Structure 1
Amino acid sequence: MARRTTRHASPQTRDRMRYRWIVLGVATATQAAAAFFVSGIGAISVHLQRSLDLTTAQLGLLVTAAQLVPLAGLLVAGGLLDRYGERWVVAIGAGVVAVALAAGSLSPGYAGLLVALLVVGAGYSTIQPGGSRSVASWFASSRRGVAMGIRQAGLPLGAALASSLLPLVAVRYGWRATLLTGAIVATVGAGLFACAYRRPPAPRSTAGGMAAQVRDRPRTVRRSTLTVILSGTSLISVQYGVSILAVLHLHDTCSLGTEQAALVLLASQVAGAAGRICLAAWSDRSTRGRHAIVWLCMIAVIIGLAVLTTPAGHEPVVAAGTVVWLGFFGFGWYGPWVAHVAETAPPHRTGLTLGLAMSANQIAVVTVPPGLGLLVDLTGSYTPVWASLSLLVVVALALSVGLQRRAS
């Protein structure tokens, strides 16, 4: 049916259908490029600790620094996107990331690195909502899930590329060279988006379709929003916990070498990229809604975290396999989740709605990494970290299911 429709479509429609895949590729590449260095911090965590004499809490604070400004920046970016469109807002944001990383490569030490990452966060605020808005405006709801999943796979793909490249750069040239590498990659992403992206020729009639269906049910909308926030904040906590501490867990607890541990994280991030695509595509066809796929991810994450708290989770093979499992579900949840957020957005407010939802996630992103690092420093063990994250997801899942039943 899809092929028949395409064959009988007008030339303009066929061009639009082809160009939407270019838009998807550009948005995905820009996401990967902008997230490259920050997503790669986990892979060079051991090197950073040794070179800068950092505690685990200080290491977590590096990630927090990059995510602090987006607490407000995502809201500002969402408004700018709705007003000016995606092309220059996203391109300039990626350019700010590049400039900040280049300046950070000249910093004398830890304090300068923190400041550079604060500025990186300001630029990165435009990337997530901007890329999601661009994909939502080009794809119908029947394909939006898989398109969002592919686009969101840019983050773990960028992280996977960083995990394979940055440790080599750090060992050979030092930690400052890793920032310069990140700046070069972000510059490529900014240029690509500015040159290749164009807005749809006309507003999509289906944009905000789901919002129109529930506009007269504000109580249902509030409950749906709260469910999205609960699932998003709990799973983003797991995602960043695994990104920052998995290599250290494998190195300190399972006695894996730093290169082997980084390879496991690489495999986990590749699995996360696959998860974002597969789980989002499944949500396009799910009769129970996209939120049911997110709940499945929460259950899978609880199981994986529970394994890491047991003696079996200290065995190299089991721990490595569990980290990859957590990559698929603990990173893959974002595809169906962000598609659900985009579909519940009011007409012409997609950017702002995405910014609001992602701002809620930022609270967890800012507080969780240093908190988990401090917990490791105080206890000398990673077991309390995995147990705490598991409990957080259990509570969020129970509350989400309860809210959904009350709304139905």
Structure 2
Amino acid sequence: MSIPAYIPVLVATTAAQSLVSLAVLSPAAIAPAIAQDLQISGSMIGWWISMAYGGAMVTSLLGGNAVRRLGATRSTQIGLLLAFVGGMAMMIGTLPLALLAALITGLGYGMTNPAASHLLAKTTSPERRNLVFSIKQTGVPLGGTLAGLITPRLTQAWGWPAAIMAVALTCLVLALVLIAVRRRWDCDRDPKARMTGNPFAGLAAIWRMPRLRALSLAGFAYAAVQLSVSAFAVTMLVSDLSWSLVDAGLLLSALQVAGVIGRIGIGSLADRFFGGTATLIALGVITCLLAVLTGLLSPTWPSPLVFAILIPFGAAALGWNGVYLAELAHSSEPAQIPRVTGASLFFTYGGVLVGPPAFAALHDVIGSYTGTYALSALPALTGAAILIFARKRV
């Protein structure tokens, strides 16, 4: 029995997504150690995440043209190599280079999703698209899981620069492995396609279509919550709940595992029962409720109860991406999927650009991470409302 064409593509794109996500989220998992060494506030990790996703916004707009001319596999390799370069800059250990490293790593992150959507859309049938795209998007929480499990231990053993270097080298290895399949998978590339086309054409196309516009605006709101959950969970547990760095890293890993399981389950439910839009609305409402409960956490709460709130919070806040990307592909012409995906992700990455710094600023005003998490209920509810309104107008 032959292996379906989408399986090796799914494995490769999920691995690439995992590693670039690991590169982006590793500093968040060891933020207290980095902050102490650089003599900055732990909340500054929000600015690192913001810089990374600012870079991703740039390459998400250029990704469609890159996929057409260079090929989706080559674009993925470039993304991984940029993550490697960013890691090498980060480990030098100065604040200016750390911010530059965030930007470079983000440029790499933004290359991967348009490329993956192109490869998966051409090898996956529509009836299993939500599930397959959701499995691919498990790469984000898988990367976070690895960040929480590995980087705190590497930091304790050899220091945080060694942890960052290990992540960067892994990105380099996968980029080299993909050389073996690049020619075959990129057989549909157009070497004569322009790399200099209007990068904002995709944004204009999205804004003209109410369905794509609503998905993109909801993605902005949901992404602001998602990355705040990942970026500040460890710092919240250490600072507000007096947990150790290793214990907090374990919970971050558990939270990311919940995101992995959630994405697969949510994608399957969307395919079998509810459809993409209804599923996205429900996730926004659930995320809102769990954000409010997170605001009630205190050092007196037993660890199992903290897990009982944060794990489903992670599953809901991290579980929407695959269904969102599948809905984008479903709503686009096949040839336009990379461009539409990249343009819509410009909004999503914009949510990440705004969300963590806003979270950090609100923390400075409120004085607690738990209270700031409670306020993250607002963008989650706003995203759900946007989808509900757009659905009624159709």
For normalisation by structure 1, the TM-score amounts to 0.86
Q: Which one of the candidate residues 216, 222, 239 is aligned to 1:235?
A: 222
Q: Distance in 2 between matches of 1:297 and 1:364?
A: 17
Contact 2:234 2:252 in 1 (8 A): yes
Contact 2:72 2:116 in 1 (8 A): yes
Provide the aligned length of Structure 1 versus Structure 2.
377
> Is 2:178 aligned against 1:185?
no
Alignment partner, residue 3 of structure 1: none
Alignment partner, residue 43 of structure 1: 29
Which ranges in structure 1 are unaligned for 5 or more consecutive residues? 1-13, 204-217
> Is 2:233 aligned against 1:274?
no
State the Cα deviation string for residues 263-300 of structure 1 (Å, max 9, x = none): 111000011011111111221123x4211111111111
Q: Which one of the candidate residues 81, 85, 91 is aligned to 2:67?
A: 81
Further displaced range: 305-314 or 23-32 = 305-314
Cα pair distance change 1:219/1:78, threshold 3 Å: closer
Alignment partner, residue 67 of structure 1: 53
> Is 2:368 aligned against 1:381?
yes
Contact 1:253 1:314 in 2 (8 A): no
State the Cα deviation string for residues 232-268 of structure 1 (Å, max 9, x = none): 1121111111111111222222222221111111000
Q: How does 1:162-201 map to 2 (within 5 A)?
A: 162-197=147-182, 198-199=184-185
Cα pair distance change 1:311/1:21, threshold 3 Å: closer
Contact 2:9 2:119 in 1 (8 A): yes
Contact 1:57 1:371 in 2 (8 A): no
Cα pair distance change 1:383/1:180, threshold 3 Å: closer
State the Cα deviation string for residues 117-168 of structure 1 (Å, max 9, x = none): 2111222221122122211111011111111111111111121112111111
Q: Secondary structure at the match of 1:18?
A: coil
Max Rg structure? 1
Q: Which one of the candidate residues 157, 163, 168 is aligned to 2:142?
A: 157
For normalisation by structure 2, the TM-score amounts to 0.89
Contact 1:66 1:119 in 2 (8 A): yes
Alignment partner, residue 309 of structure 1: 295
Contact 2:219 2:383 in 1 (8 A): no
Q: Distance in 1 between matches of 2:165 and 2:207?
A: 48
Q: Distance in 2 between matches of 1:264 and 1:311?
A: 14
RMSD of aligned residue pairs (Cα, Å): 2.3
Q: Distance in 1 between matches of 2:113 and 2:106?
A: 11
> Is 2:6 aligned against 1:20?
yes
Counterpart of 1:382 in structure 2: which amino acid? Y
Q: Distance in 1 between matches of 2:129 and 2:186?
A: 15
Alignment partner, residue 244 of structure 1: 231
Counterpart of 1:321 in structure 2: which amino acid? A
Further displaced range: 76-85 or 357-366 = 76-85
> Is 2:275 aligned against 1:297?
no
The alignment-based identity, stated in percent, is 24
Q: Distance in 1 between matches of 2:98 and 2:145?
A: 22
Counterpart of 1:137 in structure 2: which amino acid? K
Alignment partner, residue 107 of structure 2: 122
Contact 1:33 1:188 in 2 (8 A): no
Q: Distance in 2 between matches of 1:385 and 1:261?
A: 18
Q: CA deviation at 1:27?
A: 1.0
Alignment partner, residue 316 of structure 2: 329
Counterpart of 1:244 in structure 2: which amino acid? A
Q: Distance in 2 between matches of 1:58 and 1:257?
A: 20
Contact 1:272 1:328 in 2 (8 A): yes
Alignment partner, residue 212 of structure 1: none
> Is 2:331 aligned against 1:344?
yes
Q: CA deviation at 1:396?
A: 2.4
Alignment partner, residue 264 of structure 1: 251
Q: Distance in 2 between matches of 1:347 and 1:383?
A: 43
Which ranges in structure 2 are unaligned for 5 or more consecutive residues? 190-204
Q: Distance in 2 between matches of 1:219 and 1:253?
A: 41
Cα pair distance change 1:314/1:337, threshold 3 Å: farther
Q: Distance in 2 between matches of 1:219 and 1:102?
A: 36
Q: CA deviation at 1:220?
A: 11
Q: CA deviation at 1:382?
A: 2.0
State the Cα deviation string for residues 201-247 of structure 1 (Å, max 9, x = none): 789xxxxxxxxxxxxxx999722122202321121111111111111
Cα pair distance change 1:193/1:281, threshold 3 Å: farther
Q: Distance in 1 between matches of 2:298 and 2:156?
A: 32
Q: How does 1:87-126 map to 2 (within 5 A)?
A: 87-105=73-91, 107-126=92-111
What stretches of structure 1 move > 6 A for 4+ residues in a row? Answer: 200-203, 218-221
Q: Distance in 1 between matches of 2:82 and 2:346?
A: 20
Cα pair distance change 1:83/1:200, threshold 3 Å: closer
Q: CA deviation at 1:83?
A: 3.3
Q: Distance in 1 between matches of 2:52 and 2:13?
A: 21
Q: Distance in 1 between matches of 2:300 and 2:278?
A: 32
Counterpart of 1:35 in structure 2: which amino acid? S
Q: Which one of the candidate residues 218, 222, 236 is aligned to 2:209?
A: 222
Counterpart of 2:114 in structure 1: which amino acid? P
Contact 1:250 1:319 in 2 (8 A): no
